[in-house]
Amino acid sequence: MDKVVIRSIVPYLVGLAIAVALYVYAGEIVYTPRGNSLGPEVWPRLAILLLGVSCLYEIGRRLIIGNRDATGFLEAFEREQEVDEPETLYPRMLLGGIALMVVYAVLVPYLGFIFGTFLFLVAFMYIGGFRAHRTIWLTSLLVTVLCGVLFLRVAYVSLPRGVEPFAMATDVFFKIPSIW
């Protein structure tokens, strides 16, 4: 086996060892079960399991085909796609997106997760230069509802409710009949 291949596997072995240790540790979470609901160890263990599986995949891939990958194909594809124009940079969009994330992190305890996330998504799409207004508002609403269902109804994650009058958005969300 090539020394380069062995060296390239080391970070994935370390990641796998960390994933195994964290998986075991996450199983030690002490809690009082509530009916048929999932315990607090389920979602961390699922994420840790995915980390371990991805490390195993990469270790196996490198052992089987070495450090080669589809770079030859990708390089040929990129050469075909090359244009003589310089790449356009958007530093204002980047800085605006970063600033918006900071503002979101600061305001979400006051606005609540539901209302704050909805406003964040709308603003993020406008900062990104998207101008299909109906699509922006409907997509933001749909993603907010899906995230709310996933985090508040499926995973039972405790998210910020917000202060009045913004907490009403969370209250309205919880009044929507659950299909689970």
The helix/strand/coil state of 61 is helix
Non-local CB neighbours of 171 within 8 Å, separated by 6+ positions: none
Distances (CA, A) of 133 to 67, 100, 123: 46, 19, 11
Q: What residues contact residue 159 under an 8 Å CB cut-off, 6+ apart?
A: 112, 113, 151, 152
Residue 24 in tokens:
């075991």
Provide φ and ψ at 86, rounded to 5°.
Answer: -70, 155
Provide the pLDDT for residue 73: 45
**Predicted model pTM:** 0.57
> CA-to-CA distance for 123 and 102, rounded, in angstroms?
13
Q: In angstroms, rounded to a whole number, what is the distance separating the alpha carbons of residues 7 and 32?
A: 45
Each residue's pLDDT, cut to its tens digit, for the chain (180 residues) gives 677 778 888 999 999 999 999 988 887 777 777 777 667 777 788 889 999 999 999 998 888 887 665 454 455 555 555 555 677 778 899 999 999 999 999 999 999 999 999 999 999 999 999 999 999 999 999 999 888 888 877 777 778 888 988 888 888 877 776 655
